[in-house]
Amino acid sequence: MSLSIGRLAKAADVKVPTIRFYEEIGLLPRAARTASDRRVYDQPAVQRLAFIRHARQLGFSVEAIRSLLDLSDQPDRPCEEANVLAAAQLSAVENKIAQLEVLRGELRRMVDAACHGRVSACRVIEVLSDHAHCEGHGSTPTNGGA
């Protein structure tokens, strides 16, 4: 039973252009094509894509996923490497959380002290201007939203 790229996208909950992108960078093998050049997929492709999607949600980089996929394609090899990748990812996530908790503290102090007057007396601006208010926080910024 074969699937179009759109159906694969729905089956694995990934957007269509993302699938093409994964093919381009070699995370997915080149898809077979119909006579009219449309991509055709089978059931294992859904598995593979779901694997990728899940790993991305867990924060694994594309390069890490590439290794993981290589590994899972060769079931007879020892799985040290997979364990190492998972452990590295865990510690990266733990670091990130620790960093964000520091930021959260600082932002909370800012927000709690929110002024209701003019900018000249604004705590938010003041805290941002004066780095002395905080201990050094980690390196990588967050890009939350705001």
Binding interface with DNA (CB under 7 A): 4-7, 9, 15-18, 20-21, 31, 34-39, 56, 61-63, 141, 143
Annotate 17-31 with b (16+ C-beta within 10 A) or e (fewer).
eebeebeeeebbeeb
Q: Look up residue 3 and give its DSSP letter.
A: B
- Residue 18 binds: one of DNA, a second copy, none (C-beta under 5 to 8 A by kind): DNA
The dihedrals phi and psi of 126, each to the nearest 5 degrees, come to -65, -45
Residues 28-57: x/- map of binding to a second copy (CB under 8 A)? Answer: -------------------x--xx-xxxxx
The dihedrals phi and psi of 38, each to the nearest 5 degrees, come to -90, 145
CB of 35 to a second copy, least distance (A): 33
Question: Which two structure tokens, joined as six digits, stand for 111?
Answer: 């927000």
**Residue nearer to a second copy on the CB measure, 34 or 47:** 47
The span from the CA of 29 to the CA of 8, in Å, is: 14
Stretch that binds a second copy, among 1-9, 19-27, 31-39, 88-96 (CB under 8 A): 88-96
Stretch that binds a second copy, among 1-9, 21-29, 30-38, 69-77 (CB under 8 A): 69-77
Q: Output the furthest CA–CA distance in the chain (Å, rounded).
A: 70
Give, to the nearest 10 degrees, the angle between helix 16-24 and helix 43-57. Answer: 90
Neighbours of 41 (CB within 10 A): 23
CB of 124 to a second copy, least distance (A): 4
Q: Which residues here bind a second copy, judged by CB under 8 A?
A: 47, 50-51, 53-61, 64, 68, 71-72, 74-79, 82-83, 85-90, 92-97, 100-101, 103-104, 106-108, 110-111, 114-122, 124-125, 128-129, 131, 134, 137, 141-146
